[in-house]
């Protein structure tokens, strides 16, 4: 009895807990029963925090009994990507080098979740340091796609998306540097939002590509997404790149109406390498929105073909510097050795602590920043980034949103692309532009092909999350 509750949207679960139809503790016990069952098949989590989650739930039950003011996330179980710092709970980034790293502080988003009575249930699996699109690059082993366990859940926030898809969590947090929220959302049929750069504090997010990434929600539906995003966004003085805007209530943007909205369909987003099935489903979705009163036109972005290399140069350059701190001296893996030479000690720790893909990106990033190559790579990439941004700005002068596939292909099998890094990087072709430009982008499910989910991506101008929610909500409701 009552176990159907786990499959409800988070908003419904929260209402039932607030309405005392189920106690927070009861819900949490059921949730962990399910997690323990599902985890054997899915492996969405690296670390579970059952004890603290249950004690939190009991605290919330007491608050409910005493008629105290309740937070918007009252009692809901939230899965947190393992690159978001949690005070006293190990945060591994999917890496051996941080296998036993326990942060002494909470990320701002975690503080905000807690202040809204949300409950962290565990830390989810991810590609090491968020470098990957399949979650196969985790030191702790891969996560399996709940829709087809032979296939990848996408990445790098694969654990968070899989946890939502398998109902192991009410809400989840991911982080998106080049598509890491939207890619697994597409592959797992969840809703995933990367907001405008600077709307969600990065304080406590372990950096991969600082100028590109944002923490964001991965949820069962658009309403849940709007709720979680409302709770975690808004200015934070601890993050200098945080925008000076207060938090908004995005649930007000959930309007079932797209009449008069102008959709842009950029042909480069449907280019070579895009699966015909994906093209068909996305076009059907556009037609559906048209039938609901929106209009669309097709256009072209001439700099878009440079987005992928531009993205990778910037991300890897930043990563090469961000990951320098993992030397084993202050925290993280420390290989026993007899050397007194710090150079040797650093090398040994890093050699054993980092996986192959991480090493590849550190080396490539180091190269791109080196004297003699800096101009040709990093600086040029920054210039192209500006050009891409300008082109999008032009389009948004007379379009409300852009619609395109989230992923150019259907979820593929584990091991299928891991041998060819370039093929793997190509998966990010439609997601990286939003990171390069800082624009918000959401991925929502738009159907299944032979039980494999397909995601639809909606992109809007900076700070226009309201349009994303409106279009996504309308699409979902009809």
Partner 1 sequence: MIKEDLVKIGLEVHCQLTKLKSKLFCSCSADYRGKEPNTNICPVCFGIPGALPVLNEKALKYALMVALALNAKVSERTLFYRKNYFYPDMPKNFQISQYDKAGGIPLAVGGRLIINGNKIINIRRIHLEEDTGKLSYEGTIESSNVTYIDYNRAGIALMEIVTEPDMNSPKEARLFLQKLSSILEHLGVCDPSLEGAVRCDANISFGGGKRVEIKNISSFKEVERALRFEITRQRSLVSKGIDVKSETRHWDDVRRVTFSLRLKEEEGDYRYFPEPDLVPIEISNEMIQQVLSEMPELPEARKKRFINQYDLSSQTAEVLTSRKILADLFEESVRFYPNPREISNWLASDLLAYLSDTNKEIESLNITPKHFAELAHLIDNGLINRNIAKSIFIEMVTTGKMPSEIVEERGLKKISDQHYISEIVDKVFKENEKAVKDALVNEKAVNYLMGCVMKNSSGRIDPNIVLQIIKQRLNQIKEGD
d(CA 251, CA 178): 26
Residue 283 or residue 374: which is nearer to partner 1 going by CB?
374
3-state secondary structure of 162: helix
- Please give the backbone phi and psi of residue 364, each rounded to the nearest 5 degrees, phi first: -65, -40
d(CA 177, CA 204): 15
Shortest Cβ 89–partner 1 spacing (Å) = 13
Instruction: Note whether 351 binds partner 1 by CB under 8 A.
Output: no
The 410-449 site mask, x for binding partner 1 (CB under 8 A), equals ----------------------------------------
Residues 45-104 that bind partner 1 (CB under 8 A): 83-85, 91, 93, 98, 101, 103-104
From 95, 180, 185, 317, active-site residue: 180
* DSSP 8-state assignment for residue 99: T
Candidates 14-22, 217-225, 327-335, 436-444 — which segment interacts with partner 1 by CB under 8 A? 327-335
Candidates 15-23, 53-61, 62-70, 312-320 — which segment interacts with partner 1 by CB under 8 A? 312-320
Instruction: Note whether 343 binds partner 1 by CB under 8 A.
Output: yes
81 is catalytic: yes
Please give the structure tokens belonging to residue 365: 């990033």
Token look-up 């939502």 returns 164
Shortest Cβ 243–partner 1 spacing (Å) = 10
156 is catalytic: yes
Instruction: Note whether 330 binds partner 1 by CB under 8 A.
Output: yes
242 is catalytic: no
- Sequence-distant (6+) residues with CB within 8 A of 457 are 182, 186, 403, 404, 405, 406, 430, 431, 441, 442, 443
d(CA 116, CA 108): 13
Residue 190 or residue 435: which is nearer to partner 1 going by CB?
435
Residue 338 or residue 450: which is nearer to partner 1 going by CB?
338
3-state secondary structure of 355: coil
Judged by CB under 8 A, the residue of 325, 351, 390, 413 near partner 1 is 325
Shortest Cβ 6–partner 1 spacing (Å) = 30
Instruction: Note whether 107 binds partner 1 by CB under 8 A.
Output: yes
Instruction: Note whether 37 binds partner 1 by CB under 8 A.
Output: no
Judged by CB under 8 A, the residue of 47, 52, 55, 211 near partner 1 is 211
Q: How far is CA 89 from CA 34, 47, 105, 108, 439, in A?
A: 22, 8, 9, 15, 32
Q: Which of 408, 407, 401 is nearest to 474 (CA)?
A: 401
Residue 193 or residue 314: which is nearer to partner 1 going by CB?
314
d(CA 263, CA 266): 10
3-state secondary structure of 77: strand
* DSSP 8-state assignment for residue 105: S
Residue 203 or residue 473: which is nearer to partner 1 going by CB?
203
Task: Name the burial class of residue 273, with classes exposed (0-12), middle (13-18) and buried (19+) by CB atoms within 10 angstroms of its CB.
Answer: exposed
Instruction: Note whether 346 binds partner 1 by CB under 8 A.
Output: yes
Instruction: Note whether 105 binds partner 1 by CB under 8 A.
Output: yes
Q: 465-477 vs 276-291: helix axis angle to the nearest 10?
A: 90
Judged by CB under 8 A, the residue of 138, 207, 274, 443 near partner 1 is 207
Residues 144-203 that bind partner 1 (CB under 8 A): 202-203
Residues 274-303 that bind partner 1 (CB under 8 A): none
- Please give the backbone phi and psi of residue 169, each rounded to the nearest 5 degrees, phi first: -155, 150
Residue 121 or residue 212: which is nearer to partner 1 going by CB?
212
Please give the structure tokens belonging to residue 450: 């032979």
Instruction: Note whether 244 binds partner 1 by CB under 8 A.
Output: no
Residues 374-413 that bind partner 1 (CB under 8 A): 374, 378-379
Instruction: Note whether 359 binds partner 1 by CB under 8 A.
Output: no
Instruction: Note whether 349 binds partner 1 by CB under 8 A.
Output: no
d(CA 425, CA 447): 24
* DSSP 8-state assignment for residue 148: B
- Please give the backbone phi and psi of residue 175, each rounded to the nearest 5 degrees, phi first: -140, 145
Q: Which of 49, 183, 163 is nearest to 106 (CA)?
A: 49
Tell me how many residues contact partner 1 (CB under 8 A). Answer: 46
User: Given the rule CB under 8 A, which residues bind partner 1?
Assistant: 83-85, 91, 93, 98, 101, 103-105, 107, 202-207, 209-211, 237-241, 317-318, 320-321, 324-325, 327, 329-331, 340, 342-343, 346, 366, 369-371, 374, 378-379
């Amino acid at each position: 009895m009552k176990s159907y509750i786990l499959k409800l949207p988070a908003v419904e679960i929260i209402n039932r807990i607030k309405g005392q139809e189920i106690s927070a503790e009861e819900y949490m016990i059921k949730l962990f029963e399910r997690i323990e069952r599902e985890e054997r098949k899915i492996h969405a989590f690296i670390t579970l925090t059952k004890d603290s989650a249950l004690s939190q739930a009991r605290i919330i039950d007491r608050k409910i009994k005493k008629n105290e003011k309740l937070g918007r996330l009252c009692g809901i179980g939230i899965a947190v990507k393992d690159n978001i710092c949690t005070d006293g709970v190990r945060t591994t980034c999917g890496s051996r080098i941080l296998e036993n790293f326990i942060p002494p502080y909470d990320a701002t988003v975690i503080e905000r979740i807690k202040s809204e009575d949300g409950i962290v249930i565990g830390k989810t699996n991810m590609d090491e340091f968020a470098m990957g699109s399949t979650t196969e690059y985790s030191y702790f082993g891969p996560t399996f796609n709940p829709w087809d366990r032979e296939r990848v859940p996408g990445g790098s926030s694969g654990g968070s998306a899989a946890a939502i898809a398998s109902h192991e969590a009410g809400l989840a947090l991911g982080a998106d540097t080049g598509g890491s929220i939207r890619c697994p959302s597409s592959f797992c049929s969840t809703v995933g939002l990367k907001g405008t750069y600077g709307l969600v504090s990065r304080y406590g997010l372990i950096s991969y590509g600082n100028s590109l990434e944002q923490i964001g929600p991965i949820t069962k539906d658009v309403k849940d997404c709007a709720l979680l995003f409302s709770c975690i966004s808004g200015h934070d003085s601890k993050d200098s790149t945080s925008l000076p805007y207060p938090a908004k209530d995005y649930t007000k943007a959930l309007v079932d109406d797209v009449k008069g909205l102008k959709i842009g369909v950029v042909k480069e987003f449907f280019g070579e390498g895009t699966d015909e099935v994906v093209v068909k489903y996305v076009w059907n979705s556009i037609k559906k929105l048209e039938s609901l009163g929106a209009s669309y036109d097709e256009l072209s972005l001439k700099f878009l073909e440079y987005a992928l290399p531009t993205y990778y140069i910037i991300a890897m350059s930043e990563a090469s510097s961000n990951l320098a701190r993992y030397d084993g001296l202050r925290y993280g893996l420390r290989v026993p050795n007899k050397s007194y030479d710090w150079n040797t000690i650093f090398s040994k720790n890093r050699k054993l602590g980092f996986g192959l893909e991480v090493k590849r990106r550190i080396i490539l990033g180091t190269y791109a920043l080196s004297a003699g190559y800096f101009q040709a790579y990093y600086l040029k990439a920054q210039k192209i980034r500006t050009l891409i941004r300008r082109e999008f700005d032009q389009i948004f002068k007379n379009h409300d949103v852009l619609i395109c596939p989230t992923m150019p292909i259907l979820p593929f099998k584990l091991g299928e692309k891991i041998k060819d890094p370039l093929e793997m990087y190509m998966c990010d072709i439609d997601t990286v532009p939003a990171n390069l430009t800082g624009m918000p982008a959401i991925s929502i499910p738009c159907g299944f092909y032979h039980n494999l989910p397909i995601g639809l991506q909606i992109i809007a101008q900076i700070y226009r999350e309201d349009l994303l929610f409106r279009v996504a909500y309308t699409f979902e409701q009809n």
